[in-house]
Chains A and B, each alone.
Chain A
């Protein structure tokens, strides 16, 4: 019985991990120190531009440093690859653990967001929103792999 499962091939998990780790470090560095090298300055097409004390328009071209966009795109894609690649043997028990972990990660992610919404203000909340773009996948990856590891550990050594 073939079923569509919306997952990447197993090898994407490793490829994604190799991309993800350096880009997490790079991303942290870029946002933390506000790194915007000139070679990344481009005129880019935009649908909405609404800058504080700056230009506002719908559809047009705007000057932008695209380094943070590149890092963001690569981070999201590699996070997705790590999160949603098939396991070596993707069977129905793994599918159940995957679903449970996704529900769990969604709850935890919104619990963190609710807490932050109530207790964190100003620029700090803006940073929470930035991290929140990635944390749902991070929580999922941690929980899913921990559960799979736990399953492997409970294996009774027989015969």
Chain B
């Protein structure tokens, strides 16, 4: 699964640490998601969408490998 967290973060001009605080997770979790190493829960995905004032679909996109 691809995500544009880093891009959204740049648009909002906030650091990983600030996003972590807003989303109530650790900075490590934000970092792992940005690196594509961790797929968040639905709740966390919705929180991120809410913070970025957008839709979950705008941040997260399925890849072919997600169907395997």
Residues of A within 8 A of B (CB): 1, 89, 91-94, 96, 151-152, 154-156, 158-159
Q: How far is the CB of A6 from chain B (nearest CB, A)?
A: 18
Q: Contact residue range for chain B?
A: 10 to 19
Contacts of B26 in A (CB 8 A): 89, 91, 93-94
Q: Which B1-41 residues sit within 8 Å CB-CB of chain A?
A: 15-16, 24-29, 31-32, 35, 37-38, 40-41
**Between-chain CB contacts (< 8 Å), 18 pairs:** A1-B43, A91-B29, A92-B25, A92-B29, A92-B44, A93-B25, A96-B38, A151-B28, A151-B32, A154-B31, A154-B35, A154-B37, A155-B27, A155-B31, A156-B35, A158-B15, A158-B16, A159-B16
B residues neighboring A (CB under 8 Å): 15-16, 24-29, 31-32, 35, 37-38, 40-41, 43-44
